[in-house]
Copies of this chain bind each other. A is one copy, B any other.
């Protein structure tokens, strides 16, 4: 219900004077989103000034002592960020201007040299890649943690019979182990796209300036090494065009994880209804109603579904932004930042919630066994006729015509008879667990290398950070 001010007012920014309403519109939520990038902006700037100080020009753009002073200030800003004492004013517009202003306030002309040979596009591109690299590693670890929880759950209830369903209708005998480890395997497929996003992201855009380079001997290989990137983005025009693209690829990968989680959530919501009662959800993950005293609702699982929808929309928004966008930087891309940050927060939160729920589920054997009806064994019976020599289609038709005569079989036996690879009695959970461990080890070693570079660059300890 805010009123639009009719009287035009202006505000001063580092690049000139602008209309206040315009500033409000253009800055948008940047000061808030940029807080997530603040530490990474300091790190990117540290790499840039280290490179400037090493640049073989005469007179040098920056003296080694100036460089050290800047890095010291950056470390101080990082400390402030970690203490929650860093903020971005609307006049600063964004984190880049805020940091440059702080450096200039403290170091005068040295601060004014920092932006030599780079643009804000450059900065935000490198900030986002550093931020995303860290978040991708976190997401990887948390995806693996959920896969591990599902495997543990599968192992614990491996041979507990459960009605297998297609079209939600009872279909064939299955087991809790098959159900849970199936989703774990699904998450491992999602890690393939997550890894691809990691690979695309793990390249250094710094040194592209506004997308057309600068007439200075910028050493992009040096900043690549300092920041722990796999390699530089080569073409500087592409370095700038890739903004929004990397975010889109990451969000598509995150969206895949959410889709998998939404299916786990849906199954759990259904199977914990009193009409099924297969699973009791841990009460600390349920919430009540303001009017109905008896309620314990699976709110967390429903929010996983709801946030899947939201992330899908955010991803879609980022993709649409790039459609037919002219080459070179365009301001449209500012809008992709928030979607990326919200995407990571939401996926990571959902992964942790689900891992907690899986760990806390109580499995009700009686309810699971009670759900078996004769029809569930119809296919097994047809295949027994096949084993006795009948062509399958004839056996199928025979059973279909004698459904009423079908009796209930022993679910445990039914489950134990599917011995082929990946079936209820052919599951190799160790294989799955070892695949999870391999991924975890690779993530750990990447993190160690990455944090090693960062610690060396700004002298801040990155060992314990997550």
Q: Mark A379-398, 1 if CB is under 8 A from B, else 0.
A: 11011101111011110110
In chain A, positions 230-287 with a C-beta closer than 8 Å to chain B are 232-242, 245, 248-249, 252, 255-256, 259-260, 262-263, 265-267, 269-270, 273-276, 284-285, 287
In chain A, positions 52-104 with a C-beta closer than 8 Å to chain B are 57, 59, 61, 96-97, 100, 104
On chain B, the residues within 8 Å of A363 by CB distance are none
Does the CB pair B417–A215 fall under 8 Å?
A: yes
Assuming the A-B contacts A212-B171, A323-B309, are A378 and B263 also in contact, with contact meaning beta carbons closer than 8 angstroms in the complex? no
Does the CB pair B195–A396 fall under 8 Å?
A: no
Does the CB pair B181–A116 fall under 8 Å?
A: no
Q: Does A105 contact B (CB under 8 A)?
A: no
Contact of A335 among B273, B300, B310, B326 (CB under 8 A): B310
Does the CB pair B312–A315 fall under 8 Å?
A: no
Assuming the A-B contacts A289-B119, A300-B22, A432-B234, are A331 and B167 also in contact, with contact meaning beta carbons closer than 8 angstroms in the complex? yes
Q: Mark A418-435, 1 if CB is under 8 A from B, else 0.
A: 111111101110011000
Does the CB pair A26–B237 fall under 8 Å?
A: no
Does the CB pair A378–B326 fall under 8 Å?
A: no
Of the A-B pairs whose beta carbons lie under 8 Å apart in the complex, a sample of 10, sorted by A's number, is: A100-B393, A117-B383, A164-B328, A169-B274, A210-B289, A213-B422, A292-B378, A294-B400, A294-B406, A295-B375
Does the CB pair B293–A168 fall under 8 Å?
A: no
Best-surrounded residue of A19, A414, A420 (most CB of chain B within 10 A): A420
On chain B, the residues within 8 Å of A174 by CB distance are 212, 237
Does the CB pair B335–A288 fall under 8 Å?
A: no
Assuming the A-B contacts A238-B182, A339-B313, are A267 and B327 also in contact, with contact meaning beta carbons closer than 8 angstroms in the complex? yes
CB distance from A215 to the nearest CB of B (A): 4
CB distance from A252 to the nearest CB of B (A): 4
Q: How far is the CA of A317 from the CA of B251 in the complex (A)?
A: 14
Q: Does A362 contact B (CB under 8 A)?
A: no
CB distance from A209 to the nearest CB of B (A): 6
